[in-house]
Structure 1
Amino acid sequence: MRTFLSLFSKPDDVIGGYINGTRKKYVNVISYFALAITLAGLQIYVIQKFQTDVTLYDTSTELGQKQQEVFDSIFKFTTDYQSLVMMLYIPFYALLARIVFFKINTLNYTELLVVFLYAQAQISICIAVLSIIIIPLNIMSFATIGFFIMPLQIIYFTYCLKRVYGLNNTQTLIRTLIFIGILGLLMFIIMVAGVVFALKSGMFDEMIEAKKAAAETAKLMPQLSHFLF
């Protein structure tokens, strides 16, 4: 609990202390990240138990059914492999931070890994606890919670890096904008690559055919109405 609270009030003390060799004052980074993965596993259990059906599309139409199937497959992957995805992000974030802070050599790449291990674990613990509490009460779906994860990550990562690097507000704003710009560009490239892969693999073929069929039906409706009435 001391580590959890201190990562909000003084993350530079927790992260900087670990980097500088302090091991007894707070939970070490590996154990803390393991706790985050454990809670993420419990979160997945809660989602699968209490929220088996997240419907975003009109399933009364063929197009809506195909769109819902694609969403369901993506949603299942992100929940089932959340811990793996969470771990894969960290080297990427550390590399991105190394690029953004290229003129500030306070932290090397390995030390930035420690920063993001702690920061990612903290965000994951918060999201997991929130999900475990509100999903059984049917207050909010995990899909809705997911919309807030990236903004929360950026805000908290910025806060941690500001404290660890000892930046002023102007320096923090400039570096954050650069970080968001590079991250946005890379996310766009990844999304485009994902769409191209999905199209090449035929993942969207049924959805495209359903959309064409719906369009053809929409064209025929006026003619059918004129013929009947």
Structure 2
Amino acid sequence: MNCKNCDETLEHGAQFCNHCGARVIVEPFTFKYVTQDFEERFLNLDRNLLVRTFRDMLLRPKAVIDGYIDGVRKRHMNLANWLAVAITASGLMIFVIRNLYPESLDMTWMVEAMGESQKDNPFFQNLEQEDPTETMWWMEYQAILYILMIPIYALLAKITFIKQKAYSYLKHIVIVGYTQSWLSLAMTLPVLILLPFGANYMKMSYWVILIQFLFSAYVYKRMFNLSFLGIVWRSLLFILIGIGVYLLLVIGVVIFMMVFGAGFAAQG
């Protein structure tokens, strides 16, 4: 028989093509085949790559990240598969929340927290009147937002660690990608466990943000072998840079609306 990918002749009993290296597939296309193919391509449970990557990102993140950058591909999951698993887990969590526990998206508690002075605020009035699943429509696009935030976080990190010449912007993308994916996987199971007990997802999200910040600081501390004061200083610098970039974006949007908004109004 010939290889289905490059059409070269295969040796008898070959499991891989000697020409292109593709796996020789002879089993019928069944549900069992699909599940085995998914496990082999993404999870690699036979080599414990998923568990090993999750464990080592917690215990020795530098080995995982530098290993991928240096071309090591057999010890841990590569970044693309790691991201895919994390996005899948996050998508599953959002599906469960929106369809089984929509009450966990309720944000009316914010009205009580803000006090009587905000009772007439239109924003908080809408929170009390609208369906939580409609208010949180953006959660359907969380996977896209998740991907888009990685290069933004990496840019802020590159500016923060500008003196670390050995790590380019692309390498910071790898660091942030592995870190954010670990956080997504680590937070999914606890959230799913707490939801049946009446936990509010929106309240938990504040703790998730705090854990996200602390774990990211921990990873960078291990990556660059920083002291405690060193990572505290750079964490504060990261926050200041982030606030500065955010303010610049807001100012840019306002100027854009003033310039082009006036032009559109004149045309109208």
TM-score (norm 2): 0.64
148-157 vs 5-14, greater mean Cα deviation: 148-157
C-alpha separation in 1, matches of 2:125 and 2:236? 39
Matching of residues 1-229 of structure 1 within 5 Å:
1-53=51-103, 54-56=106-108, 57=111, 65-68=125-128, 72=132, 73-77=134-138, 79-138=139-198, 140-187=199-246
Shift of 1:147: 0.9
> Deviation string for 1:62-116 (max 9, x for gaps)?
9554243579455231x21211111111000111111111112121111111100
Q: Could you report, residue by residue, the CA deviation over 1:10-41 in whole angstroms, capped at 9, with x for unpaired residues?
A: 10111111111111001111111100000011
**What amino acid sits opposite 1:12 in the alignment?**
K
How far has the Cα of 1:172 moved from its partner?
Answer: 1.6
Question: Residues 193 and 4 of structure 1: is their aligned pair in 2 closer, same or farther, counting only changes over 3 Å?
Answer: same
Partner Cα distance (1:143, 1:183) in 2? 23
Residues paired across the two proteins, number: 194
Give the 3 Å change call, closer, same or farther, for CA 51–194 of structure 1 in structure 2.
farther
Q: What secondary structure does 1:136 align onto?
A: helix
In the TM superposition, residue 50 of structure 1 has moved relative to its aligned partner by 2.5
Higher share of residues assigned helix? 1
- The Cα of 1:187 is off from its aligned counterpart by 4.2
Contact 1:11–1:163, Cα closer than 8 Å, also in 2: yes
Residues 156-179 of structure 1 deviation map (CA, whole Å, 9 limit, x = unaligned): 111111111222223222211101
Q: Distance in 2 between matches of 1:98 and 1:145?
A: 29
Contact 1:3–1:26 (CA under 8 A) maintained in structure 2 = yes
Moved more, 42-51 or 31-40: 42-51
In structure 2, C-alpha distance between the alignment counterparts of 1:90 and 1:194, rounded to whole Å: 22
Q: Which moved more, 1:6-15 or 1:146-155?
A: 146-155
Secondary structure of the equivalent of 2:162?
coil
Please tell me whether the aligned partners of residues 46 and 136 of structure 1 are also in contact (alpha carbons under 8 angstroms).
Answer: no
Q: Deviations over 1:34-61 (max 9, x none)?
A: 0000001110111012222315158x99
The higher radius of gyration belongs to 2
Alignment check: 8 A CA contact 1:90 1:116 kept: yes
State whether residues 107 and 202 of structure 2, in contact with CA within 8 Å, keep that contact through their aligned partners in structure 1. no
Superposition deviation, residue 137 in structure 1: 3.0
TM-score when scaled to structure 1?
A: 0.74
Identity %: 28
Deviations 1:137-192 (A, max 9, x none): 32x11101111222212111111111112222232222111011112333456678
Matched to 1:149, the amino acid is: V
Name the amino acid aligned to 1:7.
M
Cα drift, residue 131 of structure 1 = 1.8
2:65 counterpart SS class = helix
The separation in 2 between residues aligned to 1:118 and 1:188, in whole angstroms, is: 28
Alpha carbons of structure 1 residues 102 and 45: separation in structure 2 relative to 1, 3 Å:
same
Contact 1:33 1:118 (8 Å CA) reproduced: yes
- Unmatched 5+ stretches in structure 1: 198-229
- Larger relative CO (CA 8 A, sep 6+): 1 or 2? 1
- Root-mean-square deviation (Å): 2.9
